[in-house]
Amino acid sequence: MTIRTILIVDDVQADLLNLQGMVNSAGYNVISASSGAEAVQRAKSDRPDLIFMDIIMDGVNGYDACRAIKEDPETTAIPIVFVSIKKQKADHLWAKRQGGLALIGKPYTREDIIQQINSIG
């Protein structure tokens, strides 16, 4: 699978911009969403190759958005990697049970993000 376009989802503007900068500087096209509901819509309309999604968001949280994306036949194949302050062993297990491929704990490095992209693409 070739990764070209990555959807980044975070309701905290500073975190969104930080991750966008890392991914964009690595040469990927970046689209963004600031809520779980918007992430579900963007996944369907833009068909990204990968989604980096925060978990803790108001309204539709990352887990809910992940389940909605994975339940839709049109978006089910899009890999989702959670990026969150929730990084205990139980959080990693729960993220996978919700349909996520992996979980990267905050704070993270550019290398963490790029390594995850490379492991998928």
Higher per-residue pLDDT: 36 or 91:
36
| Mean pLDDT, range 45-53, rounded to an integer | 98
Q: Which fold has domain 38-88+96-104?
A: Rossmann fold (3.40.50)
For the segment 11-45, what is each residue's pLDDT rounded down to a tens digit?
A: 999 999 999 999 999 999 999 999 999 999 999 99
- What pTM does this model have? 0.96
Domain positions in the chain are 38-88+96-104
First to last CA, the chain: 5
CA–CA distance, 25 with 65 (Å, rounded to integer):
26
Q: How many CA atoms lie within 13 A of 77 on its CB side?
A: 6
Query: Phi and psi at residue 96, in whole multiples of 5°?
Result: -70, -35
Q: What is the pLDDT of residue 67?
A: 97
